[in-house]
Chains A and B, each alone.
Chain A
Amino acid sequence: MFDQPTNRRRFLYASGSTAFAIGIGSALPDCFAQAAESATSDGERILVVVQLSGGNDGLNTLIPYRDDAYRAARPTLAVPRSDVLTIDDDIGFHPSLRSIKDLLDGGQVAVVQGVGYENPNRSHFESMDIWHSCVRKDQRRTDGWIGRTLERFTSAEGGDVPALHLGGQQQPFALASQSIRVPTVKELDEFQIRGSDPAALRRLLGGSPSVAAVEASDDDLLGFLQSSTQNAISASRRVTEAAQGYQTEIDYPESQLGRQMRLVAQLINAGMKTRVYYLQLDGFDTHAQQDATHAILLRQWSDAVSALINDLTAQGHGDRVCVMTFSEFGRRVAENASAGTDHGAAGPMFLCGGGLHAGLIGTTPRLDDLQQGDLKHTVDFRSVYASVLKDWLGTDPDPVLAGHYDTLPLFAGA
């Protein structure tokens, strides 16, 4: 029954009628069941989160190129002054960030300096959990900050899946929610049921959950598997359909992140109501021979993000998409003996898109005032989240962040 390509409205109708036919309409995932009614308005703002996993070396990303202490701490890793893409008299970008620099010059990048949190944890996993959940380990963590944000959206806005994770990695905890399952799409080509009779299998898996599952509590494993399976079938249909036949003038880089960014543009252009896209770039844990690796990773990030922004701008969506980039920590100021850097603390965050106050935000962390060899943070990451939540996504940040954090002047409308 799902074998012909359908437009959005027909898809929604079809989903509804499948459920109706087998008499379990209430068991459809909420996000799809509500879609038919609220599928009209265009123009909602979208957040694209890019996670640089492994701890990006912020000091070699946003470089205090005139500071002698920088060069002294990094005899082999310091970027030569002549290579730095200067932003002002003190600060510049790593040479791999040419395309981000162009975006900055075009008024489409805000760089928040020295972002971190009190008493920084240098474990990848614990620090990432702090960024994802906004709470420390001594408190119970059941969901992530984006998951909590999505819960505030759904009842009012419905529509497509509220968020989408693109990538082959495990789904980030930031997206975890008590009531909403965020789909993960690894490769679009594989994101559909195959076989000699896929429609029959889709009916079996996407259809009726057992009575037991409906009655089961939220955390019952079987209930979780059933709702995950139904969600997968629904999301596969919608995403595959939305991504068909996309044309663009923009050359995306031939990297995984580039392909994922292209898919984001496709889905936004197809009118998907998804509010949050989440992407990851791995490999920033550069304990040894950092130089070449870091340059490649930064270029992949920079070129992919700028391709997305340029594409969306050309297609008329530039003012409603913001790409936010973070990493779980920066790296130690002094390089180690393996021409690499160990785990550190504060680092910069980047916001890219058309709705920003462009430029450098906040104060530059000082190299002559370190904590355990690391940069001290000057901005709490939750202040950046608060600004995005309040001034971009238009929702009250305090309940999401479990506390009040002052916002920053990041967005033009704020």
Chain B
Amino acid sequence: MAEDLTIDPDWAWQPFTPSDSRQWDHVAAAHLYRRAGFGADIALLDGAARRSPRDVVDELVSLNLETSEFRSVADSLAQTLLAGGDPMKLSAAWVYRMLFTPAQLLEKTTLFWHGHFATGADKVKDASMMWRQNQLLRRHALGDFHALTQAIAKDPAMLIYLDSASNRKSHPNENFARELMELFCLGEGHYTEADVVELARCFTGWEIRNNRFRKNRYQHDDGEKSILGKRGVFDGEQAVEIVISKDDVPRFICRKLARYFIADELQWTDDLIDVPARTMRDHGLQIAPVLRQMLSSNLFYSAHARARKIKSPVELVIGMLRGLRGTTNSQRVAQGLRAIGQGLFYPPNVKGWDGGRAWINSSTVLGRANLFEQILSDGNTRFDGESLTQYLAGHDVHDAAEALDHFERCLMAVPINPANRQSLIAQFGSLGNDHEKAYRRLLHAVCSLPEFQLA
């Protein structure tokens, strides 16, 4: 494979400039929308292909806030679902957002932070707290990593998840302090056990009362601490700042962003990741400039990145729906995502989802196919408000072969392999009497193919 070759970092992060050999077309645009968002329908792709890649990326990055109109609809749906108090229902509200948001990159990055600052509703239990954390992540998703980390350090759901709802000086709880360094900012191996113990002292007195963060000064250890080579009478905010200001932070975050947005299995060496890490540092740990650089880069549009990710469950299902302007029962999608390994608000543990090959095992392979079966056998699943047959006819699709072309164009990072195409045509070549049923079964089969799982 290509990644055996060393990638020249200078080339990698230069802006991609279309040429005859490396075109900006609807295939490249589909790649961008699959990664920077959850996918795009044919009209959006055609429109993007007529603009420059820089314009399209700039637009994705600049939509760093939801429109107030969309926000009020999405929020009121969440509030309605919150009334039941069940975090699983809340998960459907997030599905709705992913399906309809005009600010795709914002939402995709919010999901990134949910996997990064992973917090599970199975332990927190309080749906409204999970909702507040979700809003917090969205507010800061493309913003400032300082502000995000300081905010998450005081977030009630996070503190309950990491057992720091009541942190007393007599015996500090180490859980949050450890994960702040190991999983949120620095990475394992960039701190010592003594740093964990000392850092934990800084957070003593932090607690959650009546579902709100507060400081209990009687429980704060105001002695001198020594953290990561610095010594002083630090409180929690200062402790967070000391951790964030370490040189390791931009590399740690950029490496994770690169894996999420560009490729699961590239060797993200220090040499390669240094350029975006510098961008992040030079911009005071702002996230948006890093993503703009990544999504506009030579590397992003190269063979190192194309089809070099395995779709997460969210990318898989929301991608299919967005690609065909599909709508369906959000509650079922939310439950289905959980069944195949990506329950929104239910990450597997504080490390979040590992992604890549870890998404795939025999249960999830069957589960992915079965979830599409459920969605597509439901008459309430519509495409641009119509039946699949009507939707396809509207795009001048009238038989199985044309349908396969359309699905490939909107949904797939690699073409359907010839043997599979042959089998599908053999089975669906004559659609029979019930076109709707046949098209849906064809789409179900396509979505279940190994090549469909690539992004």
On A, residues with C-beta under 8 Å from B are 53, 121-126, 137, 165, 168-171, 181, 183-187, 190-197, 200-201, 203-205, 207-208, 210-213, 217, 219-222, 224-226, 228-229, 231-233, 235-236, 282, 285, 287-288, 334-338, 340, 342-343, 372
Contacts and interface: CB of A to CB of B under 8 A. Distances in A.
A226 B349 CA distance: 28
A205 B367 contact: no
B110 interface: no
B169 to A, nearest CB: 8
A184 B172 contact: no
Given A184-B362, A194-B370, A222 B168 contact: no
A232 B348 contact: no
A171 B358 contact: yes
A319 to B, nearest CB: 30
Contact of B377 (A187, A196, A207, A221): A196
Nearest to A235: B362
* Chain B interface residue bracket vs A: 35 or more
A104 B182 CA distance: 40
Contacts of A282: 349
Given A194-B373, A224-B357, A287-B175, A219 B1 contact: yes
Nearest to A176: B357
Given A170-B341, A288-B173, 9 more contacts: A123-B182, A190-B367, A195-B373, A200-B427, A210-B419, A226-B450, A232-B362, A337-B172, A338-B171
Interface stretch (B27-35, B136-144, B235-243, B440-448): B440-448
B365 A229 contact: yes
B361 A190 contact: no
16 contacts: A123-B178, A170-B361, A184-B361, A185-B362, A186-B367, A195-B373, A200-B427, A210-B419, A213-B450, A231-B362, A232-B363, A233-B366, A285-B175, A287-B162, A336-B171, A372-B193
B188 A123 contact: yes
B173 A338 contact: yes
Contacts of B74: none
B104 interface: no
A338 B166 contact: yes
A222 B454 contact: yes
B14 to A, nearest CB: 26
B453 interface: yes
A262 B417 CA distance: 41
B361 A171 contact: yes
A186 B343 CA distance: 15
Closest 4 CB pairs of A and B: A287-B163, A232-B362, A183-B362, A337-B171
Interface of B: 1, 162-163, 165-168, 170-175, 178, 182, 188-189, 193, 196, 264-265, 307-310, 339, 341, 348-351, 354, 357-358, 360-367, 369-370, 373, 377, 414, 417-420, 423-424, 427, 437, 441, 444-445, 448-451, 453-454
Contacts of A137: 188-189
B409 to A, nearest CB: 19
Contacts of B165: 288
A121 B168 CA distance: 25
A190 B308 contact: no
B444 A195 contact: yes
Nearest to A208: B419
Contacts of A211: 419
Nearest to B376: A195
Contacts of A187: 363
A187 B172 CA distance: 40
B167 to A, nearest CB: 8
A100 to B, nearest CB: 26
Contact of B188 (A126, A207, A222): A126
A205 B369 contact: yes
A169 B363 contact: no
B310 A225 contact: yes
B454 A225 contact: yes
Contacts of B348: 169-170
Nearest to A197: B441
Contacts of A225: 310, 360, 450-451, 453-454
A229 B265 CA distance: 20
B418 to A, nearest CB: 7
Nearest to B452: A225
Given A201-B445, A225-B310, A183 B163 contact: no
Given A123-B182, A219-B1, A204 B424 contact: yes
Nearest to B177: A342
A225 B449 CA distance: 9
Given A171-B361, A205-B448, A193 B173 contact: no
Contacts of A121: 188
Contacts of A183: 361-363
Give the interface centre of B350, B351, B354, B370 by most chain A CB atoms within 10 Å: B370
B163 A340 contact: yes
B10 to A, nearest CB: 27
A335 B264 CA distance: 40
Contacts of B189: 137
A275 B358 CA distance: 23
Contacts of B451: 222, 225
A194 B170 CA distance: 56
Given A219-B265, A221-B307, A228 B339 contact: no
A228 B361 contact: yes
Contact of A221 (B370, B444, B454): B454
Contact of A212 (B167, B178, B182, B417): B417
A124 B179 CA distance: 10
Contact of A228 (B193, B365, B417): B365
A122 B193 contact: yes
A186 B363 contact: yes
Contacts of A233: 366
Contacts of B178: 122-123, 343
Contacts of A168: 363
Nearest to A165: B361
B307 A210 contact: no
Nearest to A289: B163
Given A170-B358, A204-B424, A192 B1 contact: no
A220 B1 contact: yes
B172 A336 contact: yes
A233 B369 CA distance: 11
A222 B454 CA distance: 7
Contacts of A228: 360-362, 365, 450
Contacts of A337: 166-168, 170-173
B252 to A, nearest CB: 14
A190 B163 contact: no
Contacts of A213: 417, 450
Give the interface centre of B166, B362, B420, B450 by most chain A CB atoms within 10 Å: B362
A286 to B, nearest CB: 9
B366 A190 contact: yes
A386 to B, nearest CB: 27
A180 to B, nearest CB: 13
A342 B454 contact: no
A145 to B, nearest CB: 18
Contacts of B365: 228-229, 232
Nearest to A228: B360
Contact of B351 (A125, A201, A222): A125
B366 A232 contact: yes
A288 B361 contact: no
